[in-house]
Structure 1
Amino acid sequence: MLQGTDVGGFLIIQDSATYSGRHLLNSFINAALNREESVHVLGFEISEEELKDGLKRSPIQRLHFHNAFIDPLGWTDHPIFTVHQFSLEELVRLVKQTSHPKPATLVIDSLSWILRHISPPAVCKTLQQLKKEGAVRAVIGLLHADMHQKGTVGSVCHLATSVITVAPGVKGDAAVAKITKRSKSGKVMQDEEIFSIKEDLTVIVQSKPNHTGPKQTDSEEQEIDPTANLTFNLRLSETERSAKDKLALPFVFSKEKKTALLHSGPGSGRILYEPDANDDYDQEDPDDDLDV
């Protein structure tokens, strides 16, 4: 992803208060500048001086900073760039101001600032138009996930071709990156890596986190008894099992009981029926006596 092979892609670096994604964002800017690409930065959260200070070792002659940090809401008479200019027409105009043979990369620092002042549907519409228009080579946005509702974060991330969620690591300056990448065919690939960023903004992938933990052996799994902590007993003792087997159930007929019921013995009664003269029974029409 740092090599920039995903032309027309939309990358979101998602961070939180526990770990900032700005260093990783600077790494992507540095990588694009080293590829001799023109990089346009919509700066809402930090000043141009602070951004360039973080890119000391980068070739910043192709870096174009659109200053929205001084007056982001246009309160002065002559604002440089405001949040209300976040539209397809205005962004295309900004990119085309510079004459550079290679397509430009647009960096939004940050999407959270824009989402706080423009409705999420309008932001998503502009981002979708940027992807289809092809005016820029790629779009990279920084998103502070803990500043928004989950629905807003999910809607914006759904538009992205790649999402990198950063979190603090366990050792030193290492961090954990959870990567979700969508291919053009719609296939979603997920990965997780431990990385660190050097002083020259190069990213070093150290390893993949191990979440497996100590694995239980088959003997340990067999020893687990799910009925151990129940308040009632599900098992029968040998005495209880023997008594259960000897118990005669009321709906089970023994051989002797069946014989007694099927064969009448001495003293058993019978029901005899003799039709009288009033019984007008017709063999051909059994229902003749009904007044139908």
Structure 2
Amino acid sequence: MLTEILQGIETGGLLIVQDSASYSGRHLLRSFINAALNREEVVHVLGFEVSEEELKDGLKGSLVQRLHFHNAYTDPLGWTDHPAFTVHQFRVDELIHLVKPTSQAKPAMLVIDSLSWILRHQNPPAVCTTLQQLRKGGAVRAVIGLLHADMHQRGTVGSLCRLATSVITVEPGWKGDEALAKLTKRSKSGKVTQDEEIFSIQEDLSVIVKSRTSQVGPKQTDPEEQETDPTANLTFNLRLSDREREAKEKLALPFVFSKEKKSALLHSGPGSGRIVYEPDANDDYDQEDPDDDLDV
């Protein structure tokens, strides 16, 4: 699946490369940039965390001509008089204006390095709204964002991942030059496909998928994802034994009447009392108007 995503992201797609302190996803991000340039696509990069020289390191000279780096690394907060690009400019109108002058016949691809830098200075709902508008507006063909998952709350990461059409979570592999990619891809029909693959990145930024984890070793389950028994550490027992369950079923509840009790209540037996009313001469009872004595 990783090779399939590298071959091209569908129009209007949002790919999030999710990494952590244990393994950087920037290597894979640069591989996606390299693959897009090889397809003769125009790529715009919002660079917050690395310089232009470091990002372009390893790219061929002919490909770099279609790569447009917007420098948010030097002055990301706009402290100087003439900043190139700041985090506060991460809005739809600013981004469209940024991409439009160099747009060719086809919309360009936008790469954000990284979303974590933007999330530190903007509200997550505003960032999600901007990404959604970029996807649907047609100003860019697709968006790729690098996200450092261990820097944010789980709800923030979940909101961005649910917005994405594809999510690639990278982790260290079993060997030094290998890494593990956990992939989630959502199709337009709503179908979700998940996979795990072992890959390595070559010096020319090409990606080699070596195998799936099912062929390498057993899948390691995240301890947080394991189902826990909520009754494990209770000081009392919530479960019934077979003997206790049988006694419970035989117990007669106080508000449930048996057939014998119903029969005794509905049919009076010997010695039961009755109330008999016999009107006397002082009773003024009118058959045609029984309520005549009421003051209404």
Whichever residue aligns with residue 182 of structure 1, its letter is R
Q: What TM-score do you get using the length of structure 2 for normalisation?
A: 0.71
Asked if 1:65 is matched to 2:69, the reply is yes
What SS does the aligned partner of 1:102 have? coil
What SS does the aligned partner of 1:291 have? coil
- CA RMSD of the aligned region, Å? 1.8
CA distance change for structure 1 residues 291 and 142 in 2, over 3 Å: closer, same or farther? same
Counterpart in 1 of 2:18? 14
User: 1:42 touches 1:66 (CA, 8 Å); kept in 2?
Assistant: yes
CA distance in 2, matches of 1:136, 1:98: 11
Whichever residue aligns with residue 11 of structure 1, its letter is L
Asked if 1:147 is matched to 2:151, the reply is yes
Counterpart in 2 of 1:78? 82
CA distance in 2, matches of 1:103, 1:35: 13
Following superposition, the deviation at residue 103 of structure 1 comes to: 1.7
Following superposition, the deviation at residue 99 of structure 1 comes to: 4.1
Choose the corresponding residue for 1:26, options 30, 40, 57. Answer: 30
Counterpart in 1 of 2:274? 290
Following superposition, the deviation at residue 128 of structure 1 comes to: 0.7
What SS does the aligned partner of 2:158 have? helix
Following superposition, the deviation at residue 285 of structure 1 comes to: 10
Counterpart in 2 of 1:170? 174
Structure 1 unaligned blocks of 5 or more: 214-283
What SS does the aligned partner of 2:213 have? coil
More deviation, 115-124/95-104: 95-104
Whichever residue aligns with residue 105 of structure 1, its letter is M
Asked if 1:127 is matched to 2:100, the reply is no
Following superposition, the deviation at residue 89 of structure 1 comes to: 0.5
User: 2:41 touches 2:109 (CA, 8 Å); kept in 1?
Assistant: yes
CA distance change for structure 1 residues 149 and 288 in 2, over 3 Å: closer, same or farther? closer
What SS does the aligned partner of 2:6 have? coil
Counterpart in 2 of 1:255? none
What per-residue deviation string (whole Å, max 9, x for no partner) do you get for residues 114-168 of structure 1?
A: 0000010100010011111011111000000000010110011110000000000
Counterpart in 1 of 2:286? none
Asked if 1:51 is matched to 2:55, the reply is yes
Counterpart in 2 of 1:256? none
Counterpart in 2 of 1:268? none
What percentage of residue pairs aligned between the two structures are identical?
75
What per-residue deviation string (whole Å, max 9, x for no partner) do you get for residues 70-93 of structure 1?
A: 110011111110000000111111
User: 1:167 touches 1:176 (CA, 8 Å); kept in 2?
Assistant: yes
Counterpart in 1 of 2:8? 4
Following superposition, the deviation at residue 287 of structure 1 comes to: 7.8
CA distance in 1, matches of 2:58, 2:88: 27
Q: Flag the structure with larger Rg.
A: 1
User: 2:9 touches 2:142 (CA, 8 Å); kept in 1?
Assistant: no
CA distance in 2, matches of 1:155, 1:80: 29
Whichever residue aligns with residue 193 of structure 1, its letter is E
User: Where do residues 203-282 of structure 1 align in structure 2 (5 Å cutoff)?
Assistant: 203-210=207-214, 211-212=217-218
User: 1:34 touches 1:58 (CA, 8 Å); kept in 2?
Assistant: no
CA distance change for structure 1 residues 159 and 99 in 2, over 3 Å: closer, same or farther? closer
What SS does the aligned partner of 2:22 have? coil
Following superposition, the deviation at residue 290 of structure 1 comes to: 2.4
Structure 2 unaligned blocks of 5 or more: 220-267, 277-296
Choose the corresponding residue for 2:100, options 71, 96, 104. Answer: 96
What SS does the aligned partner of 2:170 have? strand
Asked if 1:115 is matched to 2:119, the reply is yes
User: 2:87 touches 2:118 (CA, 8 Å); kept in 1?
Assistant: yes
What SS does the aligned partner of 2:150 have? helix
CA distance in 2, matches of 1:147, 1:141: 15
User: 1:33 touches 1:58 (CA, 8 Å); kept in 2?
Assistant: no
Following superposition, the deviation at residue 177 of structure 1 comes to: 0.1
What SS does the aligned partner of 2:131 have? helix
CA distance in 1, matches of 2:201, 2:34: 12
What SS does the aligned partner of 1:10 have? strand
Whichever residue aligns with residue 10 of structure 1, its letter is L
CA distance in 2, matches of 1:168, 1:178: 11
